Amino acid sequence: MPELPEVECVVRGLRQRIIGETIERVTVHLPGIVRGSPLDLAEHLPGRTFRDVRRRGKLIIIGLDRGLSLLCHLRMTGQLLCLPPDAPQEKHTHVIFHLTSGRHLRYRDQRQFGWIQLAETDQLAGHPQISRLGPEPLEIDREAFVRRLRTHRRQIKPLLLDQTALAGLGNIYADESLFRARIHPLRRASEVSAVKLNRLHGAIGEVLREAIDCSGSTVEQFRGADGESGSFQDHLQVYDRQGLPCLRCGRPVVKIRVGSRGTHVCPRCQRAPRNR
């Protein structure tokens, strides 16, 4: 958390709120959040105007004028909020971008795993956090998706979580997509039929779009750019439902470990592979 839908919702919210805004000054309360020198933010950002906001995988890319971009990864508990200046400054607010309109763009992060970095826009394609990413799950076509997964002998859930294989999926939406496609997360990708991989491609797109329409899932601390929570957690079919009846067949959902990650599965709808 946050995963692709949550990051996409933050990007859309920021796009509505900060495009055309100009940075007046920057306050850094926790230098460790900034990759590179925190002094670069104070030196290079005042007077810069926000030009665009986009997403690549789980990474937020904020384009500024005169060839600079801000990269932001929310990791587990990061929040990027556009708020009026009189909004109470919550605990764990580590960076504040003061805008000439009076509003603030604030970065909060309780666990401090996220980060912000200043980069040159024309060098983004070679940035290690971008160049290594696999295709976007909402953009890759069905045939390319099937070809890509069938070349791997890895268990399918860890493969879906590998950002070099597919960019943006995390634990929640991998579990939900595999459930809808009726694929057990321990099954090796190369052993899954093309029919089921086609079904998985459709399930991933369906789940991600539904989650975006619900402003993401607030399972822990996720909030959008306006501070509002998401609601897709109310529509989850297997994730965090261990012990509850499967919504499809009624058998209790179980929680197992797959690649060191807690994984939710219906043992009847998602048949486990033998000898695993």
By annotation, the residues acting in catalysis are 2-3, 58, 261
**What are all long-range contacts of 41-46, with beta carbons under 8 Å and residues at least 24 apart?**
41/95, 41/116, 41/118, 44/68, 44/118, 45/97, 45/118
